[in-house]
Amino acid sequence: MTRNEVTELIITQKLAKKLSWPQLAAAIGMSKEWTTAALLGQMTLTADQAGKIGTMLDLPADAVVQLQVVPYKGSLPTSVPTDPLIYRFYELVNVYGTTFKALIHEEFGDGIMSAIDFNMDLKREADPKGDRVKIVMSGKFLPYKSY
């Protein structure tokens, strides 16, 4: 069973069992953001976490094993996804990427924001003009070293 097949099975079973991402996250004691990324194939679960998810979703043993394998991260099917929601994040980086870079460098110096030592929180924000998506991302600053 490939990791992509496991992801498809997870989505199918989640729908069939009427479970939410936050419910699955609570079962393994992790955030809904990290758990969703993991179950969509971008993070590695521990044996205990994989076993709990396997039980909740009635996954076969080989799927539970695949959840514990280090994934090929950032493995979207195309270089620029055509899904409108995911594409908007590409647009956001294209428009504001240089702004992020300039402001981070001015505040912290020459370096990057880690996507490894990283937290994210996604919430609905009520607004009379239409609800908003609020995403807060926090990554450790990693300065470039001179040598």
- Residues 31 and 45: their CA atoms lie apart, in Å, by 13
Q: Which of 20, 88, 132, 138 is catalytic?
A: 88
Annotation marks residue 88 as catalytic = yes
Give me the phi and psi of 76, to 5 degrees please.
Answer: -75, 155
Confirm if 82 and 19 have CB atoms less than 8 A apart.
no
Annotation marks residue 31 as catalytic = no
Annotation marks residue 146 as catalytic = no
Confirm if 87 and 80 have CB atoms less than 8 A apart.
yes
Q: Which of 91, 107, 125, 132 is catalytic?
A: 91
Confirm if 63 and 6 have CB atoms less than 8 A apart.
yes
Q: Which of 5, 114, 132, 138 is catalytic?
A: 114
| Residues paired with residue 136 on neighbouring β-strands, in sequence order | 121
Q: Supply the residues annotated as catalytic.
A: 88, 91, 114
